[in-house]
Amino acid sequence: MSQREEPTLSLLDSISEAASYDHRLPLLELASSILAVLGPRHATLTAARGSAGPDRAGFLQALLGSPLPETLVLLAVIHALSTDELERARIARVLRSESAEAEELLTEFADLRPYRAVEMVHVLDDGDNILVGVRGPDGDEFTLVIYIDHNMGTLVKDAQALPGPIEDVLETMRYQVEDPDTRWTDIPLADARVRIQDAAERTSAVFPRLDAEQWPALRPLTEAVLRLAPGGGKGYQRQAWSRTQLEELADAFFASPFANPLGTDGSNHAASSRALLWAILHFGRESALADPMRWSPVAAEIILVDWAPRTLLGLAVELEHLPAVLRAFVRYCHDRRGIRGELTRETLASIDEFEPEFRRLISNQDPGPMSAEAVAGFHEIMLEIITRTVGGVQELNALDDTPLPDEDFDWTGIPKDIHQRVAEVLMLCDRGTTALLDTEHRTAARRFLAQAAAGDPAAFRRRGSADMSAAAVCWIIAKANNSFSTNRLYVKDLMAHFGVGGASQRAKVFLSAVGVPADNPEMELGSADLLVSVARSELIRMRDGARAVLDQYS
C-alpha cells in the first residue's frame, strides 16, 4: 500500500467484524497478524524469494492519514503491540489530536499483563505446551497456548490465543487429554518468558519456515505480552553428558539383561553393537534436550529415517544392526525411568514401522547419496575443512586434545602506544570468558587478541568501545569452538554481558587483522592453538573417522 492509498474496504470490514465481538481478542489477533506480515522477518523471507515485501511505513501512513473509526481502533491496537518507539509516538500523537474518545483507545488495549503460566509436559518430552494467562486493562482475559517442539530443535511449532481465563482453558484441556503420562505444572512467568522467547528465536533461524498454522501471526501479540513478564527466568535445563558419563551408560546397558539379545559374549555382531550404541548416544546427546535416554516414537523415527542415514555415511554394513540395538536400548531406558509399558510398545512399534525405509536408505544398491563416490567425496571435503581449521596437514597429524593452559597475555610485537587500549579489552575479555565459559576459552581469547593487536595495531588506535571489542573477540573464539552449541551459550547472553547489541562488524576488523577472511561462517581460524580441548577432541574424532572411510575406498 503506497502513502497515497487509503485503507481498503476489505481491511475496514475485517476491523469492523473483529470489533463487533464482546472480547478484545479478535482485534488483537488481527493487528498481530498484520504486524507479522509487515515485520522484518516476513520482509526477509519475501526478499529471499525475489519479491518485494509489504511497505510497513506506507501502510501506517495510510492509516494515520485516514482517521476513520475503524482505522483509529486498529492504530490503537498496533500501538499496544509495536516495539518501534517512533511508530508508537506517531500513533499516539494522531490519536490524542483526533478526539478524547480516540485518545482513550490508547489505554483500552495497553498493558496486556500476564499473570500465570502453566507448562503441559508429556513424560516422553516430544514437546511442551506453555499456557500464559493474560488480563487486559478492561478485565478481559485470554490465554496464549504456545507449543514448543523438542524433536525439531526446541522450536515454536504452533500457537493459539483462546478467550477466557487460563483456569477455564486448563479445565477444558485436562478433560480432552485425560492422559496419565501428562503433567500440568505452574511455572514462574519469568521462566515461561525465556523459554518461549528462546524457542521463537530459534524458529526464526529455520529456513524454509515451519508450516505452522497460527504461530507467525500470533508472534507480535505473544511478544507484547511477554515484554510485561518478569525477566531473569530459566530456560530449558539440559544435562551436559560428558564422554565418561556416556561410557558409563553404555557399560551399564551392556551389563544389563536388555543387551543379551545383542550377543555381548562375542556373538551376533557384539563389536558393531557397541559402535552403534555410541552413535545412538551421540544422537541423543546432540538432540534439543541433550538427553540420550529420551526415546519416543518420533525420536525413533528421526534417527532411523533421517539422522543415521544422513550422518553415518559409509557404514552400511554396521548400520544394518542399528534397529536391533535401538530396540534393546529403548527397553533399557524406559525400564530405568519407569516409563509405562504401553509407551514402550508404541516406541518399539515405531522402530518396526520405519525399519524398512531405514534399510532402503542404507542399502548399497541405493543409487542415492550412499554411493561409494559420494561417501568418499563427502569425507574428502570434511578432511579439507578440518585441515584448514587447524592450519595444515602437519598440524592435523599432530593434533591432540590436551586442555589449553592458563597462560599470561603475550605482549610481543604489540606497540606500546596501544598497550593501555589493549589492556582494557584484555580485562573485559578475561571477565567475560571467566563468567560465561572457562579457562581454556580465556587463554584462546588472550592469544587471539594478541595476534590481532600485533597484526593490525591501527585497529586499536581508532575510536571504539572497549566493550564492543571484547565482545567481538569472545564471539569469535566461542564461534570457532562451537561453544554456542556445546556450552549451551546463546549469542544474546554473550552480548548482554558486554552490554552491546552485536559485534559482527568489529569482529570483521579483528579477523582481517589475523589474516582470516571475514566471510567465514564456520569461523575457521587456521590455528589449533585457538581451539579448546573439546573442539580439538571432536576434530580428532572426525579426522580419524574420515580417514578410516577413505581407506575403505582407496
- pLDDT tens readout for residues 207-243: 556 656 688 899 999 999 999 999 999 988 877 788 7
Q: Is 349 helix (H, G, I), strand (E, B) or coil?
A: helix
70 in the same domain as 22: yes
pLDDT at 18 exceeding the cut of 80: yes
Distance between CA 451 and CA 526 in Å, rounded?
13
The length of the chain is 554
Structural domain contains residue 469: yes
118 in the same domain as 183: yes
Give pLDDT, residue 493.
Answer: 85
> Into how many domains does the chain fold?
5
Lowest pLDDT segment from 140-149, 220-229, 363-372: 363-372
Structural domain contains residue 299: yes
Structural domain contains residue 422: yes
Structural domain contains residue 408: no
List, in sequence order, every residue forming a beta bridge with 98; answer none if it has no partner.
none
pLDDT at 375 exceeding the cut of 70: no
Q: What is the mean pLDDT of residues 58-68?
A: 86
Give the cell for residue 431.
571477565
Query: Cβ distance 421 to 460 under 8 Å?
Result: yes
Note down the domain range covering 221: 113-226
Distance between CA 460 and CA 466 in Å, rounded?
9
Domain boundary among 192, 226, 260: 226
Pick from 112, 120, 114: which is nearest to 171 by CA? 120
Instruction: Choose between 371 and 128: higher pLDDT.
Output: 128
Q: What is the mean pLDDT of residues 311-339?
A: 84
331 in the same domain as 389: no
Structural domain contains residue 3: no
Binned at pLDDT 50, 70 and 90, residue 165 comes out as very high
Structural domain contains residue 233: no
Q: What are phi and psi of 233, to 5 degrees?
A: -80, 175
Query: Cβ distance 23 to 142 under 8 Å?
Result: yes
Helix axes 100-108, 69-81, angle to 10 degrees: 40
Give the cell for residue 396.
592435523
Span 412-451, pLDDT tens digits: 999 999 999 999 999 999 999 999 999 999 999 999 999 9
Q: What are phi and psi of 147, to 5 degrees?
A: -95, 120
Distance between CA 73 and CA 207 in Å, rounded?
35
pLDDT at 269 exceeding the cut of 70: no
Q: What is the mean pLDDT of residues 399-406?
A: 93
295 in the same domain as 315: yes
501 in the same domain as 478: yes
Residue linked to cell 527466568: 233
526 in the same domain as 424: yes
Helix axes 243-254, 270-286, angle to 10 degrees: 130
Distance between CA 204 and CA 45 in Å, rounded?
10
Structural domain contains residue 2: no
* Single-letter code of the amino acid located at 395: E
Instruction: Choose between 294 and 552: higher pLDDT.
Output: 294
pLDDT at 301 exceeding the cut of 90: yes
Lowest pLDDT segment from 6-10, 109-113, 197-201, 319-323: 6-10
96 in the same domain as 151: no
Q: What are phi and psi of 339, to 5 degrees?
A: -75, 140
198 in the same domain as 157: yes
Query: Cβ distance 265 to 275 under 8 Å?
Result: no
275 in the same domain as 324: yes
Pick from 249, 253, 361: which is nearest to 311 by CA? 361
Domain boundary among 73, 108, 143: 108
Give the cell for residue 418.
596501544
121 in the same domain as 103: no
* Mean pLDDT value across the chain: 84
121: left (phi over 0), alpha (psi -120 to 50) or beta: beta
318 in the same domain as 284: yes
Rg (CA), the chain: 28
Binned at pLDDT 50, 70 and 90, residue 370 comes out as very low
Binned at pLDDT 50, 70 and 90, residue 52 comes out as very low
Helix axes 419-436, 491-498, angle to 10 degrees: 130
Domain boundary among 65, 81, 108: 108
Give pLDDT, residue 264.
Answer: 43
93 in the same domain as 119: no
Structural domain contains residue 189: yes
Query: Cβ distance 70 to 12 under 8 Å?
Result: yes
Binned at pLDDT 50, 70 and 90, residue 303 comes out as very high
